[in-house]
């Protein structure tokens, strides 16, 4: 009798698994952002449901449910409070029209306008970046917003957290947000407990919140944002850890880039943080949205947040737009260079029409599969005249682009499918000749520390290397 009952339970379980796998396969077909991914998931779910179903529940979906509603709520509230004050940013907004096609398309993706009158500072490597952030936080009198993908429990982290704790004790509102996977050690650390005792509100992003996101570990909040009093903001590639100062002997010099912005564009960074905070805590961020947005500089800045909740692949389209709009050059620096088919075609066409297309990646990428995928795309691009450089002065982690002589981007988005489709990212797009020249000089120094890949180098690789590139290319949609 017991055996019969057990057999019935097992049979019912198997049927339910097959039904669930069929439902997931239909969802993959309807919602897959790439045909390759939809086909792969459908075949695996129908052929091996026992193995594929749990993997799909964790890694399969590419749409983050519920976040856009939070974002709309934050944007409406921010706009209401801004319009209530005499110090509106409207006078600094770049109007959208036929003479600004780049801003028009990017505005429709970013859902916020570009603003003039900003002061922008390029911060090269960790010492300059964290010295600037520390100085800014010391000046805080009202609030600090502090968000990173990775926060360690090491010397640099403790130094910055001491400032946050001291500010919280003095009455400054301090909000700290981190990714629960990237900062999993910090989440359980004494350092976080000390911050909480000091009055800092330190919360994980909580990616698995919500019924449809419950099993999803694939969506990561990769943003790095610091805001002080609504007047200064920092965005870029650094996380919080000693290795970002080049203190890890295994890694060596850590080549990274951040940017500091002052002016009306700071509002965009605040809105991105506030939406993440609302998602993580279900609480509105208590900041003064109507703070005076003065114009301390002459740079035009578009704050470009991107996330996997949106209808469009915002980060990928942003990169694609800058590539197709380039007339003289497009230079790209990224530690993870695993683009999709559309981006590859755009780069090829840009090079074929005479644009100076350069890509700089680490000589020692993070992981063997990523390394082989990098070689595969390098082989395809250099045939069209794209120049691919491999940085040899340490590990290069910066996410920077330079278009023509006036547009530069500094942010958190890598040049890969994960940043295009799965991560929460943020990029500062700066339209300013003087800033672009600084970025140009910085990248030229990086090129000097790199070697240019030539066709013969790949042609002379052994046969197994060619096979490895092809296999790694198959995994590029999920890298």
CB < 8 Å & 24+ apart, contacts of 275-278: 275/67, 275/70, 275/71, 275/74, 275/75, 275/305, 276/147, 276/177, 276/205, 276/221, 276/223, 276/424, 277/175, 277/177, 277/203, 278/70, 278/73, 278/74
Closest CA to 294 of 267, 271, 263, 261: 263
Q: Which two tokens stand for residue 201?
A: 């509100």
**Which residue in the list 70, 92, 224, 320 is annotated as catalytic?**
224
152/150 Cα distance (integer angstroms): 6
Backbone CA torsion sign across 145, 147, 151, 154:
negative
| 190 catalytically annotated | no
The Cα–Cα gap between 332 and 278 comes to 33
Q: How far is the C-alpha of 275 from the C-alpha of 245, rounded, in Å?
A: 30
224 is catalytic: yes
d(CA 403, CA 270) in angstroms, rounded, equals 26
Question: Would you say 235 and 428 are in contact if contact means Cβ atoms under 8 Å apart?
Answer: yes
Q: Which of 153, 166, 242, 404 is labelled catalytic?
A: 404
Residue among 260, 320, 399, 431 flagged as catalytic: 399
Catalytic, 229? Answer yes
Which residue is catalytic, options 125, 179, 229, 432? Answer: 229
Q: Known catalytic residue: 283?
A: no
Alpha carbon distance 418, 366 (integer Å) = 14
* Catalytic residue list contains 366: no
For this structure, is 461 an active site residue?
Answer: no
Active-site residue identified among 70, 258, 320, 397: 397
Candidate list 222, 238, 258, 320, residue with the active-site label: 222
What separation, in Å, do the N-terminal and C-terminal C-alpha atoms of the chain show?
50
Structure tokens at 406: 């006036």
Question: What are the catalytic residues?
Answer: 222, 224, 229, 397, 399, 404
């Amino acid at each position: 009798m017991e055996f019969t009952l057990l057999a019935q339970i097992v049979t019912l379980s198997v049927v339910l698994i097959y039904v669930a796998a069929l439902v997931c396969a239909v969802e993959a077909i309807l919602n897959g952002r790439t045909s390759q991914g939809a086909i792969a998931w459908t075949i695996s779910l129908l052929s091996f449901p026992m193995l594929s179903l749990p993997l799909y529940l964790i890694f399969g979906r590419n749409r983050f449910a519920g976040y856009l509603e939070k974002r709309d709520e934050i944007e409406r509230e921010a706009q209401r409070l801004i319009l209530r004050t005499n110090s509106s940013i409207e006078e600094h907004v770049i109007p959208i029209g036929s003479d600004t096609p780049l801003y028009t398309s990017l505005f429709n993706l970013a859902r916020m306008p570009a603003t003039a009158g900003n002061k922008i500072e390029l911060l090269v490597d960790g010492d300059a970046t964290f010295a600037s952030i520390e100085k800014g936080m010391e000046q805080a009198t009202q609030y600090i917003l502090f968000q990173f993908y990775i926060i360690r429990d090491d010397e640099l982290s403790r130094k910055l957290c001491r400032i946050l704790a001291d500010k919280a004790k003095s009455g400054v509102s301090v909000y700290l947000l981190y990714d629960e996977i990237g900062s999993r050690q910090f989440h359980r650390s004494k350092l976080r407990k000390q911050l909480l005792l000091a009055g800092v509100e330190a919360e994980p992003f909580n990616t698995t919140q919500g019924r449809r996101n419950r099993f999803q570990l694939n969506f990561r909040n990769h943003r790095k944002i610091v805001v002080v009093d609504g007047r200064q903001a920092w965005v870029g590639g650094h996380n919080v850890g000693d290795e970002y100062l080049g203190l890890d002997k295994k890694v060596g010099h850590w080549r990274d880039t951040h940017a500091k912005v002052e002016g009306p564009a700071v509002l965009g960074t605040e809105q991105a943080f506030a939406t993440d905070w609302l998602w993580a805590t279900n609480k509105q961020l208590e900041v003064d949205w109507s703070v005076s947005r003065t114009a301390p500089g002459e740079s035009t800045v578009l704050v470009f947040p991107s996330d996997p909740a949106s209808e469009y692949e915002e980060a990928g389209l942003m990169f694609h737009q800058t590539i197709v709009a380039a007339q003289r050059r497009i230079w790209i620096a990224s530690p993870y260079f695993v683009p999709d088919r559309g981006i590859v075609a755009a780069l090829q066409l840009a090079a074929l029409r005479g644009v100076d297309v350069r890509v700089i990646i680490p000589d020692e990428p993070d992981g063997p599969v990523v390394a082989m995928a990098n070689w595969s795309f390098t082989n395809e691009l250099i045939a069209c005249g794209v120049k691919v450089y491999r940085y040899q002065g340490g590990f290069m982690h910066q996410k920077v682009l330079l278009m023509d002589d006036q547009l530069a981007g500094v942010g958190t988005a890598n040049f890969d499918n994960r940043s295009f489709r799965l991560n929460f990212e943020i990029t500062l797009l700066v339209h300013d000749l003087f800033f672009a020249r600084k970025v140009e000089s910085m990248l030229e120094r990086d090129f000097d520390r790199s070697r240019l890949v030539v066709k013969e180098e790949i042609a002379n690789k052994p046969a197994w290397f060619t096979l490895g590139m092809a296999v790694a290319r198959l995994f590029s949609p999920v890298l």
